[in-house]
Amino acid sequence: MDYFKQRRAYRKLLTEELSLSLGQNVLYRELLDYANDEGKIDEQFKLRNSVLASRTSLTEQGLSQARNRLVQEHLIEYTPGKKDKTAPAYKLVKLYKEFTKPLGNSLPASYKPVDQVVGSSVGQVVEHSTLLLPDKDKTKDKNHSPASAEPHVDFDKLFEYLNEKSGKHFKNTATNRKLVHERLREGFTPKDIQTAIDNVTAGWLGTDMEQYIRPSTIFRASKFEGYVNSVPRVAKPQQSGGKPQRQEATPDWMKPGYKAPKQEATDDQKKELAENLAALEELRKQKEKAE
């Protein structure tokens, strides 16, 4: 099984047929990445629930529900483990078909020399409009198919944009460029790169997650698609030091030109005031006699 073909086929399913929650999507991506890293993408592999929950940030119940949905959609095969003895086992279901050129000069009408997901059609190439694409990218290269060529990215502009949105100072290094190239080879677009930056910075600035705003986090294979499709919250106002600024309402008596409202005294209040004044006057006379 080819890792990148599997990723593209999975994304096509999400676009055209499936509707998975973020947790289900994260779980599948984590299983796919783990199998690829361990060299078991075509084999059954074992992974403990505690490890998988830690890698996906899902609760035990959330992990179980997400896994059941992936099994129902025939995306994975699952074999339960035995408590304290064996870990659960997983196997990825191949989502694409390989087509080979038949012998002879004539081709049958059913032959399609492209990776294709069962029940889906080949998508059209969409021209992207984004600040990450220079004008020269719009020209056609007769030696490369637009559907398979990796989109050109102006990395100087990309990291300038990331630094502007995050307030940090990341450099256009080979390591950082490699992360972006890997996401583009998986079928993501330059617009997806920009969207992920927007969503992460909008959601994490001013929170404990701000320290994790960096290329290795934003462009990580197992998390990137989630960042592209997440709905960012409104970021809190920032001070120069990067911490959220505390906002307090100014009371009316502190505002310029404030005048205290006039209140009429009641008859009881007037009577009490007169009695207090009379008592003070009596004390003053007694003091004068004593002197």
How many domains is the chain built from? 2
- Residue 15's pLDDT is 81
Cα 190 to its chain centre, rounded Å, is 16
Q: Indicate whether 252 belongs to any domain.
A: no
List of the chain residues with pLDDT < 70: 99-151, 232-260
Task: For residue 4, give the nearest of 69, 120, 95 by alpha carbon.
Answer: 95
pLDDT of residue 89: 93
pLDDT per residue over 167-212, tens digit each? 999 999 989 999 998 998 888 888 889 999 999 998 888 888 899 9
- Domain assignment present for 137: yes
Q: Could you tell me what percent of the chain has a pLDDT over 70?
A: 71
Q: 41 in a domain, yes or no?
A: yes
> What pTM did the predictor assign?
0.39
Distance spanning both ends of the chain, measured CA to CA: 111
164 plus 64 within the same structural domain: no
Shared-domain flag, residues 86 and 143: no
Q: Are residues 88 and 190 in the same domain?
A: no
Which token pair is 48?
Answer: 């403990």
Structure tokens belonging to residue 19: 């509707």
Same domain, 133 and 87: no
141 and 233 co-located in one domain: yes
Secondary structure in 3-state letters for 136-165: HHHCCCCCCCCCCCCCCCCHHHHHHHHHHH
Indicate if 77 and 149 belong to the same structural domain.
no
Please report where in the chains the tokens 């050129």 appear, as a residue.
Answer: 101
Q: Is residue 39 part of a domain?
A: yes
Q: Domain of 142?
A: 129-244
